[in-house]
């Protein structure tokens, strides 16, 4: 399926076209609770990434046909500390930072060896583990703790607008730099907005989405935006001020059979070392108590 030009949320007609099914069949699947979907103001919507994982979960292979080995790529979310650890490991892992949901979808399709994720959903305290447990596509995967990270508002030095929380961002109509749909920072933003009694439309959006946290920092540093959500480490590296909002789980998704492959073991070896903890303290905003632990397994 080529979804490169499709929106992230598909209507019933778009989902039927994407899956090459009739709309009537889509409604039947919805009624049976057999297809991933959500209802918003009376309208069924279908997350494209979830549809990809749903299709991949039902894939049948002829007897004796082995699953293709995934390429040595770390997909998902970007993080400067983990990027450093990958370089230190000499694992030969390439990085493909597209955001948590996009990375998890690539992982389910076997297009990356592992994915770094930080998911968020209202009413869920551990969305990473909950997502893994709810999706049959991850029945052969494990969730390895990377770090807990501090997320907050990146603002210009001196915090000229005096921002302290998202309610202040809304009240002052501060220009908000955004990450792309499906990025963990975007999911976190939506969750925190809802908790504060606001909606996405209450924000004053500044410019197009930023692919990574450092790109968002550049938008704030240049003055294109007044603020945006990213980690404390990104703020420190960019020379920006930081308004803390919350800590989150940042985890590595890898299949059980790939856990013992040399690239993954090389990375885990670095994560277990004193240099990693020292680097985390230097960058700031990281809690390494969970680093290397198996946080979820089927």
Q: Return the percentage of the chain with pLDDT > 70, whole number.
A: 94
Least confident span in 16-25, 133-142, 230-239: 133-142
pLDDT at 67: 58
pLDDT score of 298: 85
The model's confidence at residue 59, banded by pLDDT at 50, 70 and 90, is: low
Task: Identify the burial level of 45 via C-beta atoms within 10 angstroms of its C-beta, where 0-12 means exposed, 13-18 middle and 19 or more buried.
Answer: middle
> Over 90: is that where the pLDDT of 277 sits?
yes
Predicted confidence at residue 1, as pLDDT, reads: 47
pTM exceeding 0.85: no
pLDDT of 60 reads: 60
Tokens (6 digits) for 158: 């001196």
Q: Give the pLDDT score at 4.
A: 45
| H or E, element range at 47 | strand 43-47
DSSP string computed for 211-274? SSHHHHHHHHHHTS-SEEEEEHHHHHHHT-EEEEEEEEEEEEEEEHHHHTSHHHHHHHHHHTSH
Q: How confident is the model at residue 42 (pLDDT cuts 50, 70, 90)?
A: confident
Mean pLDDT of the chain: 91
How many other CB atoms are found less than 10 A from the CB of residue 2?
A: 6
Torsion angle, alpha carbons of 138, 143, 146, 152, to 10: 70
Confidence of residue 34 (pLDDT cuts 50, 70, 90): confident
Considering all CA atoms of the chain, what is the largest pairwise distance in Å, rounded to the nearest integer?
64
pLDDT at 297 over 70: yes
User: How many Cβ atoms from other residues are within 10 Å of residue 39's Cβ?
Assistant: 9
- Class of domain 151-247 (CATH, top level): alpha beta
Q: Where are the domains of the chain?
A: 9-51, 73-147+249-296, 151-247
- Domain range 73-147+249-296, CATH architecture: 3-Layer(aba) Sandwich (3.40)
Q: Which two three-digit tokens encode residue 225?
A: 């935006």
Does 73-147+249-296 match 151-247 in CATH topology? yes
């Amino acid at each position: 399926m080529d979804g490169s030009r499709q929106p992230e949320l598909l209507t019933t007609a778009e989902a039927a076209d994407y899956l090459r099914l009739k709309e009537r069949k889509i409604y039947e699947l919805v009624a049976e609770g057999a297809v991933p979907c959500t209802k918003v103001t009376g309208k069924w919507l279908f997350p494209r990434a979830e549809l990809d994982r749903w299709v991949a979960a039902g894939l049948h292979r002829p007897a004796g046909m082995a699953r293709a080995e995934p390429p040595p790529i770390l997909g998902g979310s970007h993080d400067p500390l983990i990027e450093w650890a990958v370089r230190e490991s000499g694992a030969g892992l390439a990085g493909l930072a597209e955001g948590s949901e996009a990375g998890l979808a690539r992982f389910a399709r076997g297009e990356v060896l592992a994915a770094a994720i930080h998911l968020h959903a209202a009413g869920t305290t551990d969305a990473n583990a909950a997502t893994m447990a709810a999706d049959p596509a991850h029945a052969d995967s494990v969730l390895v703790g990377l770090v807990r990270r501090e997320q907050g508002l990146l603002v210009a030095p001196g915090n000229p607008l005096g921002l302290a929380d998202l309610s202040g961002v809304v009240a002052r109509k501060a220009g908000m730099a955004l990450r792309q749909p499906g990025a963990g920072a975007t999911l976190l933003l939506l969750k925190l907005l809802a908790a504060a009694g606001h909606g996405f439309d209450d924000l004053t959006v500044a410019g197009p989405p930023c692919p990574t946290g450092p790109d968002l920092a550049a938008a704030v540093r240049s003055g294109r935006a007044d603020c945006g959500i990213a980690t404390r480490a990104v703020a420190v590296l960019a020379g920006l001020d930081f308004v803390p909002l919350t800590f989150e789980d940042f985890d590595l998704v890898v299949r059980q059979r790939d856990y013992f492959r040399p690239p993954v073991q090389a990375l885990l070896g670095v994560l277990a070392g004193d240099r990693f903890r020292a680097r985390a303290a230097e960058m700031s905003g990281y809690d390494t108590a969970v680093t290397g632990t198996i946080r979820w397994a089927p």
